[in-house]
Structure 1
Amino acid sequence: MTTTRPARTAAAHRLAALAASALGGPLPVRLRAWDGSETGPADGPVVVVRSRRALCRLLWQPGELGLAQAYVTGELDVEGDLAEGLRAIWAAAREQQLGAPRLSLADRLRAAGAAARLGVAGPPPAPPASQARLRGALHSKARDRAAISHHYDLSNAFYRLLLDETMAYSCGYWVGEEPEFGPADAQRAKLELICRKLNLMPGARLLDIGCGWGSLTLHAAERHKAHVTAVTLAREQATHVREQVRARGLGDRVEVFCQDYRDIAGGGYDAVATVEMGEYVGDAEYPGFAATLHRMLRPQGRVLVQQMSRGATAPGGGAFIEAYIAPDMHMRPLGETVSFLETAGLEVRSTESMREHYVRTIEAWHHTLEERWDDVVGLVGVETARVWRLYLVGGALAFEERRMGVDQVLAERPATDGQDSRPPTPWNWYTGLDRL
């Protein structure tokens, strides 16, 4: 007598059932597993699980970090346009009110059993090589230097591939709608806006904290004849800025220091700028950072803080960002930043949201990444290239969907007599920015 063995349930169906149990609802995607099986809505984004190893990661790291690890290693992928896929996934998750996995011990045991039936077992896989590995006390000087180096010392050659000619790695200001108005124009408009808000005059002393590759430093020195002290923790950045200072003959106007902001000496500056650096300071350390901004200024001196923000319920950068892009970063609501600055003795004169501008800025970087994909992979490897693809796509969507913001905050150190050094209205800030 011949007996027929029941067919094994396809991997995709087992995975979908497992995910639905963890999320509290059906997956809003079509799932394709390593054995070729598929399940889920025919018109949904297709998530491809290429390897059992991806499932192993998710069992040990359920949620955003496990998914990111599987994606950057290529064990998991989204078929087609990643941005459209993620947008559809998040929209469906909101509509179905799916939550992040919160697995009880019983849930974990059931998941382990299902994984075993799929041939997945064993210890947690090692984190991908591109994941940050920091040691030491949170926001100690040594750890902060390592955190900055992880992201910004990737290589100047990489950032030259990704960024435009200004080498500005922060939100641009898209004041022109003409087709020929591009990323470099948006960055020059942003740099000029900052200089105007700071009311830079020839000979003014500017302190640029977190100067990056020197875009603001060089613009202020060349266009406004300011004397600039540029500070960065990243050695690659300091090397680039010094090279540009020599090439442009600005040695008499620009000094470059590779140091922690806590080690900056002196003071009496007419203006201080810190562009998307405050996110790295840390929550407990921000009052001290705000006090440093106040201490560096002369009375009636101005400070411009351009900084990313998140809601009170999600103050960090997220598991992926903090593991792969900006370890230890902390973003807070705009109102908390304003409060810190005011508590330090600064008078906040203006705030301006630039959230929509960051969507366009990041999309421009992503377009360049895809256009130069082979060059990027040749320079930093496919894993790091996939990290950046996920980072840029996810970042643009976060700003698009108001889960993140970015703002310029202008403040002044009050004079003892209460006088303000600027006209009360910003009538000249925006004139002609589209024609730089």
Structure 2
Amino acid sequence: MNTTTDTDTGTGIPATGAAQRIAPVIERFLGGPPPVRIRMWDGSETGPENAPTVHVRSRRALRRLLWQPGELGLAEAYITGDIDVVGDLGDGLRALRGTPGDQEPRLPRPRAADRLRAAGTALRLGAVGPRPPSPEARAGLRGALHSKARDRAAISHHYDLSNAFYSLLLDETMAYSCGYWTGTAPGYGPADAQRDKLELICRKLGLTAGARLLDIGCGWGSLTLHAAARHGVRVTAVTLAAEQAAYVRGQVEARGLEDLVEVHRCDYRDVAGLPGFRGGYDAVSTVEMGEHVGDAQYPAFTALLHSVLRPQGRALVQQMSRGSTAPGGGAFIESYIAPDMHMRPLGETVGLLEGAGLEVRDVESMREHYVLTVRAWHRTLEERWPEFTALVGEETARVWRLYLVGGALAFEERRMGVDQILSVRPDAAGSAGLPATRHGWYADTGRVPLQATAPEREDAP
């Protein structure tokens, strides 16, 4: 193993610095040399010279890992600034994960004896002490899993951060979901990709003036407002988040769409009681909301999609998926970003939709588009970092940096995907009432969809 110390640079740090003392522990935890260079608080270093550098800034970082080994302990050490990555965070995460084909990151897998040795080393380094408090940004949900009250709290944790925060992060469409990047010309940006996505959804759903759309999980109303303003659609918009509901109502009033749009803050399980439900909707959309439904509840969710549609009505589900052997989410995401989120492989979701009586007619992968979308959000975060930290604090801003960089990497490496699934409720005679081809979905955009090639890596901010 290649090691150096600050004695080599003449600073007088002893050859037995913190890095040299911790190196054997790291090797036991990982089963081999560290994949990154490690710089300790005393300036000593260990690990490969040309690898990304992880800076352990304080003894408290070791204390966090003793109390919470693995992904969550590392994430919380980064959030609090006890650990930092020198240079590009994405490069550091790639190195920690190992090869792109790995489904699990190269993180500590300690046995009892390893933890005992680690505790002894930490004691000698002065890093032993009480469990450090978790960052305030960590979710603290209570109650039965996917009860209405707990689901409301889970949604509020993420989406009620503040409309001001999301207005800083997102483009003017306020669409917080995967864009559809159909152009590469200079000036084509995130807002264009989101508008192309919204129009694609409207075309797939066959929306025309007077049609009735149920938008479940409407977010900040990007699809609701687009469908109503551009196509004259009558929309019933549903969200659990108070901040989102207030924003959409304000936009409806500002744009003079009160005759076309109703906004309801309610659970998706309560939509049957809404006024527009009687007689059935012509279309239902749910854009990146199904991940919050839960595994056990998803069959009832797909049954609901079927029940709210009139015969020959269409449903479009845009939803994230996980690879067949990838865990999806993870301890950090579930603790800080999307508590109780559940992702499944695409095929399982298709099977559940069909099991509810819907006929799946089209599936379009948008995985590479999400890499571009998340990287655009990350660029905004870095470019406006002082504004974000002033608004939500340093720790929450670091949560989002880790979330966005890690999310882009997950889509890039095919551990996560996202798909648009179009289905229909056939009538009693079995007719779907759909056009025989996709002609018209992509017409009049003036652009050809991007080729599904591996995206270039983002430069360090």
The letter of the residue matching 1:274 is T
The farther-off stretch of 100-109 and 371-380 is 100-109
Determine helix, strand or coil for the equivalent of 1:228: strand
| Selected match of 2:303 from 291, 296, 299 | 291
Determine helix, strand or coil for the equivalent of 2:25: helix
* Shift of residue 17, structure 1, vs aligned partner: 1.9
The letter of the residue matching 1:424 is A
* Shift of residue 420, structure 1, vs aligned partner: 2.0
* Shift of residue 59, structure 1, vs aligned partner: 1.1
| Selected match of 2:346 from 314, 320, 334 | 334
**What's the TM-score, normalizing by structure 2?**
0.90
**8 Å contact 2:328–2:415 — kept in the other structure?**
no
* Shift of residue 25, structure 1, vs aligned partner: 1.1
The alignment-based identity, stated in percent, is 71
**8 Å contact 1:45–1:89 — kept in the other structure?**
no
Gaps of 5+ in 2: 1-13, 448-461
Distance in 2 separating the partners of 1:434 and 1:84: 36
Match of 2:444 in 1: 432
Deviations 1:381-422 (A, max 9, x none): 010000000000000011011111000000001111011212
**8 Å contact 1:28–1:93 — kept in the other structure?**
no
| Selected match of 1:198 from 205, 210, 217 | 205
Distance in 2 separating the partners of 1:388 and 1:14: 33
Distance in 1 separating the partners of 2:435 and 2:139: 47
**What's the TM-score, normalizing by structure 1?**
0.96
* Shift of residue 99, structure 1, vs aligned partner: 4.4
| Selected match of 1:117 from 102, 120, 124 | 124
* Shift of residue 350, structure 1, vs aligned partner: 0.4
TM superposition outliers: structure 1 runs of 4+ over 4 Å: 92-95
Determine helix, strand or coil for the equivalent of 1:303: strand
**8 Å contact 1:23–1:98 — kept in the other structure?**
no
**8 Å contact 1:32–1:48 — kept in the other structure?**
yes
The letter of the residue matching 2:87 is G
Determine helix, strand or coil for the equivalent of 2:382: helix
| Selected match of 1:29 from 27, 30, 36 | 36
Match of 1:54 in 2: 61
Deviations 1:93-144 (A, max 9, x none): 979x984433222222111111111112123211111111100011011100
What is the number of equivalent residue pairs in this alignment? 429
Match of 1:359 in 2: 371
* CA distance 1:46–1:408, change in 2 (3 Å): same
The letter of the residue matching 1:371 is E
Deviations 1:264-297 (A, max 9, x none): 1235000000000000000001001101101110
Distance in 2 separating the partners of 1:380 and 1:99: 31
The letter of the residue matching 1:225 is G
The letter of the residue matching 1:168 is A
Distance in 2 separating the partners of 1:280 and 1:192: 24
The letter of the residue matching 1:150 is H
Match of 1:82 in 2: 89
Please give the residue correspondences for 1:32-431 in structure 2 after superposition, counting only pairs within 5 Å: 32-91=39-98, 99-265=106-272, 266-267=277-278, 268-431=280-443
CA RMSD in angstroms comes to 1.6
Determine helix, strand or coil for the equivalent of 1:101: coil
The letter of the residue matching 2:30 is L
Distance in 1 separating the partners of 2:99 and 2:25: 18
Distance in 1 separating the partners of 2:87 and 2:446: 35
* Shift of residue 61, structure 1, vs aligned partner: 1.1
Gaps of 5+ in 1: 1-6
The letter of the residue matching 2:172 is E
